Amino acid sequence: MALASGVHSADTGNKFEDFSGIKIAPGGNPYDALIDACQDSPAKLQSLYATHRTSRNKQQREKFLSSEFKDLNIDPILLRLEKPEVEPGFKDPRHCLVFWARPPDHIVKLARHLQTLLQAAAPNLWLMPPHRMHLTALEITHSRTAQEIGDLVSAMRPVIPELTGLTFTRRSRLVKPMISYDLSAVAVSFLPASGEKPVSAESSSPPLEHSGESNGSASGGDHYTYHHLRRDAFDVASAAVTINSRYVVPSAHVTLGRYITQDDHKTPEMRERWIQTIENINKWLENEVWEVQDGPFIGEWIVGQERGLEGRCGTVWYGGGRTILAGEGF
């Protein structure tokens, strides 16, 4: 999206490329393709999510360390919002309509710790404020006018309560956090659970059931995954509006930070340090957080803990906008 001032949208140079190897045919519910390809197997779904994030990290590592590296993809809109002197009076014109899963407190605690570790290697990294952290479960549309989004909200009002309430009975677990990154931003990503041992009271509680499908607790076998939740959210929303989403790739990520300057990555040595920091963090996560029950950090997240899905509209990039309705948490 090119703006009146000639500034391009933050993600213009950031392609949402699917590394899972699954091709999604146009039409219908795009989340069904992955579920069908995996024969509805949580283990296979987790494997494809893992393939996507590890393959993407490998690609981005090569870009950072390449002798042909030129620049990071600086977010020009965030730069103007954070430094008003660049373009006085600038306002983000991109209005969106999304449904977020808000991380519970223990995931926010982990995310804040990860931000501290990352900022040690990149002091100028813009950090997502903890109260704005979110996982985009479903993006309806993006980069529209306020009037267009207002019309879509009106059209969706009959289904918004059902959509935001999905996680109260349809519970899915996310596990195995890992830092994912590219030339624009850095995030903590999760995988749909597949039989990992429970590490919180919520995950070992008796499962709720709906239409014969179990929740995401260990006792339910993790049959209902986060990808199933995305599928169901798409079905509910598409009954009311046409969905124009960028987020179909098999990823469950919470943005931790974005680049608004080249200063921390100007030299090959600085970029090498950045990549090494990320790889060290990922080793620590795997060894000290994954499936660890009594450690200082918990890496398991049952979507809907503390808060249900949250309908959000307006200038939602960077965690902004306003809440339309938030579903009941557990």
184's tokens: 């624009």
Task: Please give the domain boundaries of the chain with CATH numbers for all domains.
Answer: 31-326 (3.90.1140.10)
Does the predicted TM-score (pTM) go above 0.75? yes
The pLDDT of 129-154, averaged and rounded, is 97
CA distance 78 to 14: 15
pLDDT digits (tens, 9 = 90+) for 12-64: 444 556 555 556 666 689 999 999 999 999 999 999 999 999 999 999 999 99
* pLDDT reading at 207 higher than 60: no
Distance of CA 237 to the CA centre of its chain: 19
Q: Which amino acid is at 199?
A: V
Instruction: Report whether 300 contacts 174 (CB < 8 A).
Output: yes
Per-residue pLDDT band at 327 (split at 50, 70, 90) = very high
Mean pLDDT score across all residues of the chain: 90
| pLDDT at 242 (0 to 100) | 94
Q: How confident is the model at residue 4 (pLDDT cuts 50, 70, 90)?
A: very low
Please tell me the number of Cα atoms within 13 Å of 146 on its side-chain side: 7
CA distances, 198 to each of 59, 203, 220, 330 (Å): 32, 5, 11, 17
Please give the average per-residue pLDDT across 174-196, as a whole number.
97
pLDDT at 6: 52
3: confidence class by pLDDT, cuts 50, 70, 90: very low
Assess contact for 167 and 308: CB atoms under 8 A: yes
Lowest-confidence segment of 44-53, 167-176, 203-212, 279-288 by average pLDDT: 203-212
- Chain centroid to CA 223: 21
- For the chain, percent of residues with pLDDT exceeding 70: 86
d(CA 297, CA 289): 6
Closest CA to 213 of 234, 235, 192, 229: 229
Residues contacting 250, CB < 8 A, separation 6+ = 18, 20, 22, 34, 45, 48, 49, 52, 227
Amino acid, single-letter form, for residue 166: L
In Å, what is the CA distance from 71 to each residue of 17, 74, 273, 309? 20, 8, 16, 36
Token output for 228: 């199933």
**For the range 107-113, what are the long-range contacts, defined as Cβ-Cβ under 8 Å and sequence gap of 24 or more?**
107/254, 107/298, 107/301, 108/133, 109/297, 110/177, 110/188, 110/289, 110/297, 110/298, 110/299, 111/188, 111/254, 111/256, 113/297
With CA atoms as reference, report the closest residue to 284 among 134, 127, 113, 46.
113
Q: Give the model's pLDDT for residue 185.
A: 97
- HSE of 275, CA atoms in CB hemisphere, 13 A: 18
Task: Please tell me the predicted confidence (pLDDT) of residue 11.
Answer: 56
How remote is the C-alpha of 157 from its chain's centroid?
Answer: 24
Q: What is the pLDDT of residue 219?
A: 39
DSSP assignment, residue 48?
H
Rg (CA), the chain: 19
Burial class (CB within 10 angstroms; exposed 0-12, middle 13-18, buried 19+) of 120: exposed
Which pLDDT score is estimated for 201? 66
pLDDT of residue 218: 37
By three-state DSSP, how is residue 90 classified?
Answer: coil
pLDDT of residue 278: 98
Q: pLDDT value at position 16?
A: 53
| Residue keyed to tokens 């899915």 | 172
| DSSP H or E run through 56 | helix 42-65
Measured distance CA(144)–CA(221) in Å, rounded = 40
Identify the band that residue 254 occupies on the pLDDT scale cut at 50, 70 and 90. very high
